[in-house]
Amino acid sequence: MNVIAAVDSNWAIGNKNRLLTSIPADMKFFREKTSGHVVVMGRKTLESFPNGLPLKNRTNIVLTGNRDYKVKDAVIVHTKDELLEELKKYDSEEIYIIGGESVYRMMLPYCDTAYITKIDHAYEADTHFPNLDELEDWKMTQVSDEQTCFDLEYVFSVYRRG
- Alpha carbon of 15 to those of 19, 32, 47, 141: distances in Å? 7, 25, 14, 29
What is the chain's pLDDT, residue by residue, as a tens digit (162 residues)?
999 999 999 999 999 999 999 999 999 999 999 999 999 999 999 999 989 999 999 999 999 999 999 999 999 999 999 999 999 999 999 999 999 999 999 999 999 999 999 999 999 999 999 999 999 999 999 999 999 999 999 999 999 998
Quick one: pLDDT at residue 140? 98
Quick one: pLDDT at residue 147? 96
Quick one: pLDDT at residue 162? 87
Give 147: exposed, middle or buried? Use CB within 10 Å, 0-12, 13-18, 19+.
Answer: middle
Burial 61-86 (b: 16+ CB within 10 A, else e): bbbbeeeeeebeebbbbeeeeebeeb
CATH number, domain 2-161: 3.40.430.10
